[in-house]
Amino acid sequence: MELEKIRDIISEVLNLNSEEINPESRFIEDLGADSLDIFQIIMGIEEEFDIEIENEDAEKIVTVQDAIDRINEVLKNK
């Protein structure tokens, strides 16, 4: 479920087809995101899942799977 929601957020921010986005996709290298795009994606994730991702944790998010793992960790500790 998280993957589908994240795909929607990423595809909206980066104007990509959601089918092009998989857990192994790297935001910068594979999806062409820049730092502002990543910021917008993180903000979208925070809003969608009603969570807060700390800046130092956000900096560690390189792949879509990293984002999923971080969401699950924050939700587990909520």
pLDDT digits (tens, 9 = 90+) for 47-72: 999 999 999 999 999 999 999 999 99
Domains of the chain and any CATH numbers: 2-76 (1.10.1200.10)
pLDDT at site 78: 82
pTM metric for this prediction: 0.92
Tell me what the mean pLDDT of segment 33-46 comes to.
96
pLDDT at site 39: 95
Q: Which residues contact 7 (CB under 8 A, 6 or more apart)?
A: 18, 21, 64
Q: What are phi and psi for residue 71, nearest 5 degrees? A: -60, -50
- Residue 30 a catalytic site member: no
Catalytic residue among 8, 30, 34, 57: 34
Helix (H, G, I), strand (E, B) or coil at 4: helix
